[in-house]
Each structure stands twice: as C-alpha cells, then as structure tokens.
Amino acid sequence: MSEKLKIKLSIADRVYPLTIDPKQEEGLRKAAKNIEQLAKKFEQNYAVRDKQDVLAMCALQFASKIEQRGIEHTEGNMEAQERLQALEHLVSQKLALK
C-alpha cells in the first residue's frame, strides 16, 4: 500500500488541505493552476459578483470541454464504424464474385 501525501492547494483565495496518493499530485496541482488562471480571466473580463460566480463559470467551462470531447469521440467512433461497415460490404461483394 502506497504512502499518502499531504498537500495544500490554493483555489480562489482558499487553501484546501488534501491527503492523496503521490501519483495524483501532478494532476491536482495542474488542475488547481488551470482553475486559478481561468478564474482570473473571468474576473478581468466579466462583471462577477463574487468568487462563487467565478468558480461556477470555471466549473461550467471545464465540464463543457469534457462533454464536447465525449460528443466528438462518439461521433468519431460512429464515423469509423460506418467506414468499417462499408469496407466489410465491399469485401463481401468481392468475395461473393469469386
């Protein structure tokens, strides 16, 4: 069993102490940094009332990117499946002619 690591992440002027697996540290730190950068961007470019509004906008931004990737992945899989079916049909036709 791996040793747990205690870290502190700062997001929107709050510190969050976490106990994590060491292999999660890099991803969590990058995620916190991305949230901080996006929050600053929203604060500079939009009239926001408080940090909760900024964090909600960040959550929406990141969640929509994940959903969009899922949609694009599904569409790509469907296109690949259609091409494979067309190839299978062509091969079947050629084999039937022999």
Task: Report pLDDT digits (tens) over 47-77.
Answer: 887 899 999 999 999 999 999 988 888 887 8
Confidence at 92, pLDDT banded by 50, 70, 90: confident
**For residue 40, what are its two tokens?**
């600053």
Domain that includes residue 50, residue range = 5-97
Q: What is the predicted pLDDT for the residue at 1?
A: 57
- HSE of 1 in the Cβ direction (CA atoms, 13 Å)? 3
How many separate domains does the chain show?
1
Task: Give the C-alpha separation, 96 to 26, whole Å.
Answer: 56
